[in-house]
Structure 1
Amino acid sequence: MTPPPHALVIPYPAQGHVIPLLELAHALVDRGFTVTFVNSEFNHHRVLAATTDTTKNGSAGLLDRIRLVAVPDGMEPGEDRNNLVRLTLLMAEHMAPRVEDLISRSHAGTEGADGGPITCMVADYNLGTWALDVARRTRIKSAAVWPASAAVLASLLSIPKLIQDNIIDSKDGSALTEDTFKLSPDMPIMRAAHLAWNCIGDHQGQEALFRYLIGGIRAVEKCDFILCNSFLGAEEATFAQFPKVIPIGPLLTGERRGKAVGHFWRPEDEACISWLNAQPTRSVVYVAFGSFTMFDTRQFQELALGLELCGRPFLWVVRPDLVHGDVHDYPQGFLDRVSASGRGMVVAWSPQQQVLAHPAVACFVSHCGWNSTMEGVRNRVPFLAWPYFADQFVNQVYICDVWKVGLRAQADESGVITKEYIATRVEELMSGASMRDRVEAMKKVALESLKEGGSSHDNFDMFVQAMKA
């Protein structure tokens, strides 16, 4: 009997990448594949710890037909893995040989080669050249997955032209102009300072990272597919300009109850859902800033006071690392007032898909990460768009200027988004009927693309058949 096709799926080692790539792995299993899912050792253990439906076997877990495997990322145990430049440059050296050995052992049928020979690789585009080079050396089919907006991928693929047009520096990609530009007449307006590689912090490795990104352009030209977690109706002009990029989204992250979804924190114990059940329809402000966003104390306190000032029920996700274990980072008496009034709830993490799908939720104060953006859109929730880094500034342009399903959070002259401003913007979102109509229409287009006969559904089926052949 011929074994099923066996896909090796490798995300970039960050939560916003692990979540959609693990959903893609589940979708491959739904279509008859066996999957080996490779995380860095650090993230592998975090995913297992946050998963209740996973059995452990040494350094690997097994979930349905997804085998969870760990490889080292090259960083020391105590190092800061939010230093994305260092992480990106190290993993090519340390992860590549382990992945190649994994494929070779699967072909040889040696110990640890569960699931039969690996027949194809589905690698996060952000891994750069090394993963796709391994696929070529081991002679398996390959696909690069871009888990964010097509417009941001288009900016990466356009680096040579951006250099030629004197928009960015050829050495490190830094901005050479403050003027706006478009990659094509119908694509969103961009700023060089807001291109993803210019928004990841002040790291000494910027020049090396930029060279790494240029190498990634060459690598994807040789893979069989470039898949994108977006949908045609969201970015039609971009897909028309870059026809090799194939939309297969929005991937339905967070909707597989009881299965591994790639979170790094233990999911909330459903207490926030019970709290939402007691709130009126379209009354709650949901506030969540993803896995990377950090605030200074003043901005953190202004946000807390702004939620109080708006007078609306709110559900606020505050990661433990945001408050450093010190409740005094909150405004004085804030937590006591929230607890006494019952009007707000603060949690360490939330089942975000369930929250956004809840009828009580009226708006989403968001960092504009692409997973959160897609989850908000497919649950018809308008945004207060508050980007932090990387691709989130381009996503804000989509939310506020292209789709018109959200409002910008804008800082004052001192660089702070004030409590008064937050309360005013939330009230605008709550009362904006036309914005709700637009996001409802976007939800319909997004979900239609995933149905049989929809563009994303048919694109994914085409990809699956090619990987099986």
Structure 2
Amino acid sequence: MGKGRLLLFPLPFQGHINPMLQLANILHSKGFNITIIHTSFNSPNISNYPHFTFESFSEDTLAGYDTSLLGNVKNVILLLNLVNKVWIDPFHDCVKRLLSNSSVEDPIRCLIPDATLYFTQAVTDLLKLPRIVLRTSSLCSFHVFHSFPLLLQKGYLSIEDSQSEAPVPEVPQLKVKDLSSTFKIERDALHVMLLAIMSGTKAASGLIWNSFEELEQSILPTIQKEFPIPNFTIGPFHKYFTASASSLLEQDQTALSWLDMQAPHSVLYVSFGSLAAIDKTEFFEMAWGLANSKQKFLWVVRPGVIRGSEWLEPFPVGLLEAVSERGHIVKWAPQQEVLAHPATTCFWSHCGWNSTLESICEGVPMICSPSFGDQMTNARYVEAVWKVGLVLENGMEREEITSAIRRVVVEQEGKEMKMRMSCLKEKVNTCLMEGGSSYRSLESLVNFILSF
């Protein structure tokens, strides 16, 4: 008899779907049957996962939703608060139906939802089903979010301090100005969401992290104290298997064929993920910074990433020519393969956790342009704790961009970052081997699930 069935429920955004489906593959390899619960919005490509069962539930909240609105973090928070209210009943009915149809030979062991979907705790309480949550961010950024009420109380989020370079004693790696960006939206809506997420996480039976102990060992004891439930650091998820086909956007394979024609360690890879948006002025500064650096670059310009534009039409002719001399522009790239390519030498990123982790796994130093949420904390850890990259402090300014590229790609400072990144890459390989920290944590997670 198998080990039973697990119900997994991802938040339907690219950066959350990927790790959840990777986790599903990991747990399936350990003998569990997998059912993915999903909505019609951003539904996964079922044909890529014939070994899973998929179950959708009806919801109208996101029907016809304009995904370009998600480039505004305020809209993301408001949307998350909304779905946590209106999805309760249809999700409850879906899980109840699955439980009633389960068999003795294939019992449902537990639900594993994205921790952001905090309403699921109320559902599992009603149905007497264990719930283990997946947190798709870093431990260090989750600690900052957990500290939000204290930071608010201490006055760090006042408008007068919004550009202060002063350190924050409660989270020493951050500057006061970082907090302004991390929490730069309607505080009331954010406060409601964070309190609910933290409460829902503490009420869970366990907590799964897409990270590994050696990377975040300085914050792990604090997290275990803040969330006194079993914590399982079993990441990096994507290193258990070859890249899984869970991208919601079509990947342009010319990115790889173009890289094949470049010299080893010669190309800067630029991508700001699936949600970030910039204005035309910032876009032009990026372009001139790249062109003036005199370095080769592969640039992902996602359709809609430039506010008010479809794709590349804002480019003045002269600037497009300057960029075309050294760069290759695609709409979306197979990122894990790009970072693993021998031609890639640096990653200019928004510092979402998936991107940060993927860069670490391939030993590629970073240039960081964080925008909101966990990105600020990830970027500071890249620069100040792991010392494997630089943060662009002044937004998009061509001179600073050019200088940062040369510091990381050409100068001695960059070579030292590369050496430190290589050490982290080696720790990734070690943690996944038999007896390694993530290997042991995964074994503990499997045994924990089987105890239900």
TM-score normalised to the size of structure 2? 0.88
Distance in 2 between the 1:378 and 1:238 partners? 20
* Structure-2 change in CA distance of 1:330 and 1:370 (3 Å): same
1:64 to 43, 46, 51: 51
| Residue of structure 2 in register with 1:51 after alignment | none
* Structure-2 change in CA distance of 1:309 and 1:165 (3 Å): closer
Identical aligned residues as a percent: 29
Distance in 2 between the 1:174 and 1:304 partners? 32
* Structure-2 change in CA distance of 1:73 and 1:125 (3 Å): farther
2:93 to 90, 95, 101: 101
Deviation for aligned residue 1:467: 0.9
Which letter does structure 2 place at the counterpart of 1:449? Answer: C
1:86 matched to 2:78: yes
Which letter does structure 1 place at the counterpart of 2:356? Answer: T
* Structure-2 change in CA distance of 1:351 and 1:254 (3 Å): farther
1:77 matched to 2:64: yes
1:194 matched to 2:178: yes
1:325 matched to 2:279: no
Superposed counterparts of 1:189-228, under 5 Å? 189-191=173-175, 194-195=178-179, 199=182, 202-203=185-186, 206-228=187-209
Q: 2:11 is paired with a residue of what secondary structure? A: coil
| Residue of structure 2 in register with 1:16 after alignment | 15
| Residue of structure 2 in register with 1:256 after alignment | 242
Contact 2:8-2:20 at 8 Å conserved across structures: yes
* Structure-2 change in CA distance of 1:34 and 1:275 (3 Å): same
Deviation for aligned residue 1:27: 0.7
Superposed counterparts of 1:21-420, under 5 Å? 21-44=20-43, 47-48=44-45, 54-55=46-47, 63-67=50-54, 69=56, 71-72=58-59, 74-80=61-67, 82=70, 83-109=75-101, 116-128=106-118, 130-162=119-151, 165=154, 167=156, 179-183=166-170, 188-191=172-175, 194-195=178-179, 199=182, 202-203=185-186, 206-243=187-224, 244=228, 245-252=231-238, 256-257=242-243, 259-261=244-246, 263-268=247-252, 270-323=253-306, 324-325=309-310, 327-336=312-321, 338-339=323-324, 341=325, 343-411=326-394, 417-420=396-399
Deviates more, 1:30-39 or 1:323-332: 323-332
Contact 2:266-2:343 at 8 Å conserved across structures: yes
1:461 to 405, 423, 443: 443
Distance in 2 between the 1:104 and 1:174 partners? 51
Which letter does structure 2 place at the counterpart of 1:467? Answer: I
Deviation for aligned residue 1:189: 2.2
Contact 2:345-2:365 at 8 Å conserved across structures: yes
Contact 2:303-2:311 at 8 Å conserved across structures: no
The CA deviation string for residues 48-96 of structure 1, in whole angstroms up to 9 with x for no partner, is: 3xxxxx43xxxxx853125263542623414455111221112122322
The CA deviation string for residues 116-161 of structure 1, in whole angstroms up to 9 with x for no partner, is: 5532111211222x11221222112211111111112122333454
Q: 1:439 is paired with a residue of what secondary structure? A: helix
Deviation for aligned residue 1:233: 1.6
Q: CA RMSD in A?
A: 2.8
Deviation for aligned residue 1:303: 0.9
Deviation for aligned residue 1:418: 2.4
Deviation for aligned residue 1:168: 5.8
The CA deviation string for residues 314-358 of structure 1, in whole angstroms up to 9 with x for no partner, is: 10000011242253312324444555x4x3210000000000000
Contact 2:57-2:90 at 8 Å conserved across structures: no
Which letter does structure 2 place at the counterpart of 1:437? Answer: M
Distance in 2 between the 1:422 and 1:402 partners? 22
Distance in 2 between the 1:78 and 1:219 partners? 26
| Residue of structure 2 in register with 1:428 after alignment | 407
Tell me the number of residue pairs that the alignment of Structure 1 and Structure 2 aligns: 434
Distance in 2 between the 1:383 and 1:140 partners? 42
Q: 1:226 is paired with a residue of what secondary structure? A: strand
Contact 1:62-1:68 at 8 Å conserved across structures: no
Deviates more, 1:389-398 or 1:131-140: 131-140
* Structure-2 change in CA distance of 1:408 and 1:155 (3 Å): closer
Structure 2: stretches of 5+ with no match in the other structure: none
Distance in 1 between the 2:338 and 2:42 partners? 24
* Structure-2 change in CA distance of 1:382 and 1:190 (3 Å): same
Structure 1: stretches of 5+ with no match in the other structure: 49-53, 56-60
Distance in 2 between the 1:70 and 1:346 partners? 38
Contact 1:239-1:246 at 8 Å conserved across structures: no
Q: 2:35 is paired with a residue of what secondary structure? A: strand
Distance in 2 between the 1:159 and 1:424 partners? 34
